[in-house]
Amino acid sequence: MSADSTDTTVWELLPSRDTGGYQLWKCKVCGGTKAHRAANHTRHVNSFAHQAELERIQHALEAEEEDTEGAKRTVSASSGGTGASQHIVESALSALLASLSGQVPLESDSDADSGFNLPRAPSPTLPVINWNLVEAGENTELDAPEDSAEDTAVQELARALQARMGEDWLSDEEDVERDDLEDPDVPEPTVSGNDNDANHGSRTRARTRTRDDMELSRTWYPWNDKITCTLDILMHLPRSVFSQRQLDLFLWLLKINDVDDVPSVRSMQEMNARLQRLCGIDTIKYEGALGHTYHVNDLRQIISQEMANPKVRPHLHFYPEDTKGTKLDEGRQGARWLDEMPDECLTPMARMGTQDYFIHEPAMLRSGHVVMPYRWFTRVEEGQHRMYAKCWQMQAIATDAGSGWRVIKRDGLDLRVELFLWTFPELLRDHARHDKPSPAIIIDVLDHHTGEHLPWTLTDPAIGNRWRALAKGQRVMGFGLWYYCDDTSGNMSKKWNEHNSVLVTPAGLPRHEAQKEYNVHFLCTSNLAPPLEMMDGVVEQLE
């Protein structure tokens, strides 16, 4: 479309041009600061936002005829004095807010900004005042084709205040309609131009944020409301690409069917960015040993979200389970987890009330004996998981250097956690009251199978388990993970290229939970880097 064929009753030529040198036009019907190229005029005129604004103007014209008839009637005396003063104040405030919002009415009445000369019948008692504010078409900072962040914030604040006053000058459709200059390839949803279809149009109504809205926002936090939540879920369905064009069309479909509180495209994009910052997973770049570049999702954040997820956390198990060989249904019931894994790779502590017992620390039983727990596990008794400890015996001995403890490494001593009385710090504090050597002095270790006497090397006896100091009173849990690599071959359609992916599943989940899709987490993928090269990045995160 050329400039000569442009309908100047609808379009106003702007003095500025875009970066490509094209002339820019502003729609007089829709108003605002939005600039369009001439080639996009037809698309805009057929858009839902433009059609809705035309319908609004038509209703305004009809209302003007009614107002003209009403102005001929006698005005009561109560309309003077205070009413005129209030009208002046409201008119001034409304005009100021309109100026700040970037869409200034040419007259005191809101419909004058439409670009059409609507018939006016001024009130016989209320003055019509021209506040000499800049017109929306002038080249001002607020009306520049591209607003700064500060200008945008001022405009949004002004629009919010206008909504509070119950004004309807501005249409929220401007937020739904994306800038032609930014994405000229995405068409706006269009509607039929006949009257029957227009009657089904949804004009966005500005409304005040009420207490119910705030309660709704808290209910659906971090989303604003239910519709925003469900739309965001729809946009992020696994294996279902939801494009920007589909979002535009879907939001338009909701609006045209009179669905209330439909968010704009911009607000959905801002919500998505905010949620990504709040609960998204970071991706870390690595340079592989073979020279390939690949990216790995942050494993710490994945584990953190699993622990915080109310749908996952109740199903997680952090201790091996001893079934005494009667069944083997879950990974935690296997002998490798219960007997073969190194002690330091499993959950190092058990909590009983306010007491934290750590492995490789002396603890005193209610019977007065001192033992060294080295592994925590559970047994199902009466339908409940009961906590047990595999322990080594400890014997008080005296040497030329003084008294201390000998650890006797012998299997078979399994004790319930309820039999424990004192933790290592408590025993260290009160050992003299019970005429026992200090638990911080471990003289040697006696291997019951070989008869060898070996030095104690698992911890610093004076400090105990290092996790006690690191935890600072918090619980320490061992989070098991199943790693596996999936190699995907290419196909003739080229929809998929050959690549390798590394995925992870929490090992503490029961099988029926571990097989659920949302419990399988993607770590990394590459069609160049082999699996072992990508595992270097995963191992680096673990270390």
Q: What letter does residue 452 receive in the DSSP assignment? A: -
The residue assigned the tokens 């879907």 is: 250
Q: What letter does residue 345 receive in the DSSP assignment? A: G
* Per-residue pLDDT, 364: 95
Residue 398, token pair as written in the block: 């005296």
Question: Read out DSSP for 295-344?
Answer: EEE-HHHHHHHHHH-TTTGGG---S-B--TTS---SGGGSHIIIIIS-GG
pLDDT digits (tens, 9 = 90+) for 274-330: 888 888 889 999 998 899 999 999 999 999 999 999 999 999 999 999 998 888 899
**What parts of the chain have a pLDDT lower than 70?**
1-5, 66-93, 95-97, 99-151, 153-154, 157-158, 160-217, 239, 241, 489-496
Consecutive H or E run containing 405: strand 402-416
Question: Read out DSSP for 144-212?
Answer: SSS--HHHHHHHHHHHHHHHHHT--SS-THHHHSPPTTT-TTSPPPB---SHHHHTT----------HH
Question: Looking at the domain 331-471, which fold is it?
Answer: SH3 type barrels. (2.30.30)
* Per-residue pLDDT, 351: 94
Single pTM value for the model: 0.57
Q: Report the chain's C-alpha Rg in angstroms.
A: 36
CA atoms within 13 A on the CB side of 232: 22
For the chain, the domains span 11-70+80-198, 211-279, 285-313+479-542, 331-471
Question: Read out DSSP for 459-490?
Answer: SBTTTB-HHHHHHTTS------EEEEEEEE--
* Per-residue pLDDT, 96: 66
